[in-house]
């Protein structure tokens, strides 16, 4: 079997993670931290491009890793137009949208930009992204809200949800496309998706106000109460946005977005922390129940993943309420770097055909 070397790049708000794989084997990984003062020098996220790329190149050089050895560079997909799941070769249309931030600015936009710029320096090396957060496979009925001015949209942890679902399919030796699964990603944001025969036909918008609340996001809120707050004169649009994303959820209730801290408070018997902790698990369970309805009760398994899945107590609270629906399997954490690299490897081996971003 041919040997392929792959570089995975995952830019985040305060770090840039890189990982080098040779086929399935991880050879090197590093999380390059960025000081806030360094990033604040740039007016737009896209302007951080050269700064972050140079740090990656420097780190690889220090590890004596030759750029010419890479067959593919796979970047974290950013905020693009809604697209189906899959691997996409980075093209001009994509880099234009990412650089301009046409669908929004986010550090993950830099993944495709850096991958493309590095890959073009080496003949035969290709740049890809895989399963960005804008993966959209919603069935038409799932897009409809209670008012035509507000269409439901698909923004979720597509990379990890798809990777976990496919991993489970391999474990039981059944094609992902033949399964009906519910996947709950429990992280800084929470997304619960209904996977029906290879497509996520319904999922909450995990970014800006839908579904369960999370460590720093409010999730769904009472609509009229929110409308009254917006017109009270006491809040700017930016302040309301922060209440929904960044200063909602555990931050608003308990003053911290550190789930592990809340777990410690719960263990010490703090009553308020326990109530909010249980409420978050309760909302996740409700969302799983809703997705069971989407799948008409035909659920092969419920998969729980993400950083909060390391908490046995939190997971047990969810399991207590959903175990009657289907078997529950837990996959703690989120190995996004492996997921990126394995998507690139699938293309290199001819197991998957890269799609074109239009």
User: Side by side, which strands form the sheet with 5-11?
Assistant: 25-33, 15-22, 5-11, 72-76, 126-130, 87-89
Residue 106, pLDDT score: 85
Residue 86, pLDDT score: 94
Please give the full DSSP string across 258-292, using - where no structure is assigned. Answer: -HHHHHHHHHTT-HHHHHHHHHHHHHHHHHHHHHH
Distance CA 2, CA 176 (A): 26
Residue 67, pLDDT score: 86
Please give the full DSSP string across 299-316, using - where no structure is assigned. Answer: -SEEEEEEGGGG-HHHHH
State the DSSP code for 353: P
Which residue is it, tokens 């922060």?
Answer: 242
Rounded to 5°, the CA angle 21-55-335 comes to 35
Element (H, E) at 342: helix 336-348
Are the beta carbons of 9 and 115 closer than 8 angstroms?
yes
Residue 8, pLDDT score: 98
Rg (alpha carbons) of the chain, rounded to whole number? 21
CB half-sphere exposure, 324, CA atoms < 13 A: 4
CB half-sphere exposure, 238, CA atoms < 13 A: 0
**C-beta neighbour count of 26 within 10 angstroms:** 14
- pTM above the 0.85 mark? yes
Are the beta carbons of 73 and 119 closer than 8 angstroms?
yes
- Alpha carbon 149 to its chain centroid, in Å, reads 26
Are the beta carbons of 44 and 97 closer than 8 angstroms?
no
Residue 14, pLDDT score: 78
324 Cβ contact partners less than 8 Å away, ≥ 6 residues apart: none
Three-state DSSP at 201 gives strand
Q: Look at residues 19, 28, 17, 27 and name the one whose alpha carbon lies nearest to residue 52.
A: 17
Distance CA 195, CA 299 (A): 9
What b/e string do you get for 316-339 counting C-beta neighbours within 10 Å, with b at 16 or more?
Answer: ebbbeebeebbebbbbeebbbbbb
Residue 37, pLDDT score: 84
Give mean pLDDT in consecutive 10-residue pieces for the chain, a chain of 358 residues: 93 89 96 87 92 96 92 94 95 95 89 95 92 95 97 94 96 98 95 97 92 95 97 96 93 94 97 98 98 98 96 98 98 92 96 95
Please give the full DSSP string across 89-155, using - where no structure is assigned. Answer: E--HHHHHHHHHTTT---TTHHHHHHHHHHHTTSTT-EEEEES-TTB----GGGG--SSTT------
- The separation between the first and the last C-alpha atoms of the chain, rounded to the nearest angstrom, is 33
Q: At what angle do helices 312-322 and 271-294 cross, to 10 degrees?
A: 40
User: Side by side, which strands form the sheet with 199-203?
Assistant: 199-203, 190-196, 180-186, 301-306, 328-332
Residue 158, pLDDT score: 94
Distance CA 201, CA 29 (A): 34
Q: At what angle do helices 109-119 and 49-62 cross, to 10 degrees?
A: 60
Are the beta carbons of 59 and 30 closer than 8 angstroms?
yes
């Amino acid at each position: 079997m041919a040997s392929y070397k792959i570089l995975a790049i995952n830019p985040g708000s305060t770090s840039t993670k890189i990982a080098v794989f040779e086929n399935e084997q991880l050879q090197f990984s590093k999380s390059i931290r960025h000081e806030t003062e360094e990033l604040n020098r740039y007016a737009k996220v896209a302007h951080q491009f050269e700064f972050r790329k140079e740090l990656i190149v420097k780190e690889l050089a220090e590890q004596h890793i030759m750029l010419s050895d890479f067959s593919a560079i796979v970047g974290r997909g950013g905020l693009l137009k809604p697209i189906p799941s899959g691997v996409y070769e980075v093209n001009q249309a994509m880099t234009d949208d990412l650089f301009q931030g046409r669908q929004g600015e986010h550090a993950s936009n830099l993944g495709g930009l850096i991958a493309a710029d590095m890959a073009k320096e080496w003949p035969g090396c290709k740049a890809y992204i895989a399963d960005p957060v804008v993966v959209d496979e919603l069935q038409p009925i799932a897009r409809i809200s209670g008012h035509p001015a507000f269409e439901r949209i698909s923004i979720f942890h597509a990379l990890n949800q798809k990777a976990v679902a496919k991993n489970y399919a391999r474990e039981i030796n059944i094609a992902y496309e033949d399964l009906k699964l519910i996947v709950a990603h429990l992280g800084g944001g929470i997304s619960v998706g209904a996977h029906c025969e290879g497509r996520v036909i319904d999922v909450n918008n995990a970014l800006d106000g839908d579904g369960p609340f999370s460590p720093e996001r409010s999730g769904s809120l009472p609509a009229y109460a929110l409308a009254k707050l917006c017109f009270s004169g006491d809040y700017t649009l930016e302040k309301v946005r922060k209440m929904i994303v960044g200063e909602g959820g555990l931050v608003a209730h308990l003053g911290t977005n550190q789930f592990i801290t809340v777990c410690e408070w719960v263990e010490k018997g703090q009553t308020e922390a326990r109530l909010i902790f249980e409420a978050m698990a309760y909302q996740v369970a409700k969302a799983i129940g809703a997705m069971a309805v989407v799948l008409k009760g035909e659920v092969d398994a419920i998969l729980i993943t993400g950083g909060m899945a390391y908490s046995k107590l939190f997971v047990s609270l969810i399991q207590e309420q959903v175990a009657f629906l289907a078997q529950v399997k837990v996959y703690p954490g989120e190995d996004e770097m492996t997921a990126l690299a394995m998507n690139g490897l699938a293309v290199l081996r001819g197991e998957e055909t890269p799609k074109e971003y239009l």
